[in-house]
Amino acid sequence: MSDRSQRRVLISRLLQSEEVGSQEELLRLLAERGVVVTQATLSRDMRDLGVVRTRGPEGPRYTLDQRTRYMSALREVVGMEILDVRTNGQLVVLRTLPGRAEGVAGFLDALDEDDILGTIAGDDTVFIAPSSPERCPAIVAAILALTDGLES
């Protein structure tokens, strides 16, 4: 496991076991465990982990946002379910694994992107209605980013 991965695991554990109210406090807790990082690196780690600041009984506290972690994992699965993406300049069409179009369409709808008016799903095909024809390339690019470079 890389140093970054180990550090992020430690950050997650600390946030689950301690009442951490500030980044300075988290930096101190990490240093006590032999992990010295800059505030900028810690901020990046917290953002990537989906850390949010909430109000606890003792005041502000950092916690892991489970929705962020769930959406990240789901994004990876959805990316593997998409087989092809094409556009005719008016509509974006996705081909998915059999039976997965509805899940992919639901994921895209949940993103609440301004570029997408809505989706229609069959068994292995998703039709995406863009907010305007000019947004088709941006939608295709966003979907290709999900798939780690699927050729369109």
Q: What is the mean pLDDT of residues 1-30?
A: 90
Domain range 73-146, its CATH number among 3.30.56.10, 3.30.1360.40, 3.40.640.10, 3.40.50.970: 3.30.1360.40
The pLDDT tens digits for 41-52 are: 999 999 888 899
How many C-beta atoms surround the C-beta of residue 100 within 10 A? Answer: 21
Domain boundaries, the chain: 3-64, 73-146
Q: How far apart are CA 145 and CA 81, in angstroms?
A: 13
This prediction has a pTM of 0.59
Structure tokens at 101: 């179009």
Domain 3-64 indexed as CATH 2.60.40.1930:
no
The pLDDT tens digits for 75-89 are: 889 999 999 999 999
The pLDDT tens digits for 79-129 are: 999 999 999 999 999 999 999 999 999 999 988 788 999 999 999 999 999
